[in-house]
Amino acid sequence: MSRPDTNTGNSDLKQSLSLEQPRKKSRYLKHLLIWPLALLAVIFLFFQWSGGKKDAPIQYRTVETERGDLTVIVTATGNLEPTNQVDVGTEVSGTIESVEVDYNDVVKAGQVLTRLDTTMLEAQVNQSRAAVESARANLLQAQASVLEAENELARFARVRELSGGKIPSQQDFDAADAVLKRARANETMIKANIAQAEAKLQIDMTNLEKATILSPINGVVLTRSVEPGQTVAASLQAPVLFTLAEDLTQMELHVDVDEADVGQVREGQEATFSVDAYPDRTFPAHITQVRFGSRTTEGVVTYPTVLDVDNDDLSLRPGMTATADIIVKQVRDALLVPNAALRYAPPPRGEEDLGTAGGSLLSKLFPRPSRSRKQRSSEIRSGQEQQVWTLRNNEPVAVSITPGATSGIMTEIVSGEVTAGMPLIIESVSRKK
């Protein structure tokens, strides 16, 4: 019996394995190429199908010009403040003995707000008063010494005259004269000490009076920062004990007007404003001051503007945030057009619709931006000639006009071949059948 050849079997197995690996690789490459080609074919067929539709003529949206009143408004935000707000403090240190008023209390000028403990202050007044009395007593002694020295010097002068200048000696006479001068100098010094003691007494008496804090104005207590028993120290800076508002029926609105709008804002202009507390209510105001000093916040330059506010019903409160609409210009019976008509410009020919059948597959996949976009977003400049577009025989025709004041929505037409009721294009739309 013959045995199978093992070498021959192994060679056949190796050959079959080596043939199997290229087959698997070729099938993998076929799958890798077929799917992208199929996807491209689907995209090509889709654009061929969509591009096969016929394009309809361009449709235009228009609005008619009209006559009406135009109000130009500048908007600014700020906070309400009292016309006169006073911080009441103390110039003397001590312990609060009593507080006579509370929040929202109506106070009169001269009314007691709080009192400090005056034990130390009264002792200082008594000490200063005693120092004044002591200085005055010293003055009496000094005046007596002066009188005594004057008499002594006069006696020496008479004796010298009677003795023919022999007695007293010149030395004794000079000594008597020096005593008189020292007595007079001492008198002058004591008078100065009296003035100093009286000034010290006046200061201590003033401090004693200031221990009773009085209201400087007629107003309302907005804040109270002290309680009985609290110690206040006024060594470096006077601590604020109360904040008073003089009259809340008249208030001020301080707003920040942007530098681009401040050229239109003037004193005396009327305004309205609203606050979050009353969302359905508007309040009247008028400008009393436009300040020249600027304020820069995060790179934005604004100018503080003050508006006078009537608050008879006391519904408004200090610190409220308000948004004010300042009426900077009003035009009656003006020819008005919407700002969209001033910004419109028709697209160049061939760019009406980049997705139509006339474009290539590449242009459909990667459309280019329209070159007329810059014109459509241009700013409206008052007094400079611009163009608007109207329809004649369903074709856009340019009309030159000169715009005037604008409210941000509507613009006044100062001159140009535009009449009331003329349709102006604000948008072009291309539709497919």
Q: Are residues 242 and 272 located together in one domain of the fold?
A: no
Q: Are residues 339 and 423 located together in one domain of the fold?
A: yes
The CATH number of whichever domain residue 253 belongs to comes to 2.40.30.170
- Side chain identity at 99, as an amino acid letter? V
In a domain, residue 6? The reply is no
What is the spatial distance between Cα 410 and Cα 163, in angstroms, rounded to a whole number? 119
Q: Are residues 102 and 217 located together in one domain of the fold?
A: yes
Last residue of a domain, one of 246, 268, 300: 246
In a domain, residue 32? The reply is no
Return all residues near 340 (Cβ < 8 A) that are at least 6 apart: 63, 426, 427
In a domain, residue 380? The reply is yes
Nearest C-alpha neighbor of 125 from the set 207, 190, 196, 191: 207
**How many folded domains does the chain comprise?**
4
What is the spatial distance between Cα 194 and Cα 39, in angstroms, rounded to a whole number? 112
In a domain, residue 54? The reply is no
**CB atoms near residue 55 (< 10 Å):** 16
Last residue of a domain, one of 330, 353, 376: 330
What is the spatial distance between Cα 427 and Cα 411, in angstroms, rounded to a whole number? 17
In a domain, residue 10? The reply is no
Q: Are residues 174 and 315 located together in one domain of the fold?
A: no
Q: Are residues 241 and 314 located together in one domain of the fold?
A: no
Residue 332: its H or E element? strand 321-338
Q: Are residues 362 and 420 located together in one domain of the fold?
A: yes
The CATH number of whichever domain residue 137 belongs to comes to 1.10.287
Query: Which residues constitute the domain of residue 195?
Result: 118-210
The CATH number of whichever domain residue 367 belongs to comes to 2.40.420.20
In a domain, residue 148? The reply is yes
In a domain, residue 40? The reply is no
What is the spatial distance between Cα 326 and Cα 286, in angstroms, rounded to a whole number? 8
In a domain, residue 424? The reply is yes
Strand ranges in 162-207 using DSSP code E only, listed in sequence order? none
Nearest C-alpha neighbor of 362 from the set 43, 15, 102: 43
Q: Cα–Cα distances in Å, from 127 out to 68, 93, 123, 131, 193?
A: 83, 18, 6, 6, 15
What is the spatial distance between Cα 252 and Cα 309, in angstroms, rounded to a whole number? 6
Pairing type for strands 423-429 and 59-64 reads antiparallel
Q: Are residues 163 and 273 located together in one domain of the fold?
A: no
Q: Are residues 302 and 357 located together in one domain of the fold?
A: no
CB 317 within 8 A of CB 80: yes
Q: Are residues 260 and 315 located together in one domain of the fold?
A: yes
Provide the residue-wise pLDDT of the chain in tens; the chain has 433 residues. Answer: 444 454 444 555 455 445 455 555 556 556 666 766 777 777 766 655 555 444 556 788 888 899 999 999 999 999 999 999 999 999 999 999 999 999 999 999 999 999 999 999 999 999 999 999 999 999 999 999 999 999 999 998 888 888 887 888 888 888 999 999 999 999 999 999 999 999 999 999 999 999 999 999 999 999 999 999 999 988 777 789 999 999 899 999 999 999 999 999 999 999 999 999 999 999 999 999 999 999 999 999 999 999 999 999 999 999 999 999 999 999 999 999 999 888 888 876 554 444 444 444 445 445 554 444 434 444 566 668 888 998 888 888 899 899 988 888 899 998 888 888 989 988 887 654 4
Q: Are residues 268 and 343 located together in one domain of the fold?
A: no
What is the spatial distance between Cα 357 and Cα 49, in angstroms, rounded to a whole number? 9
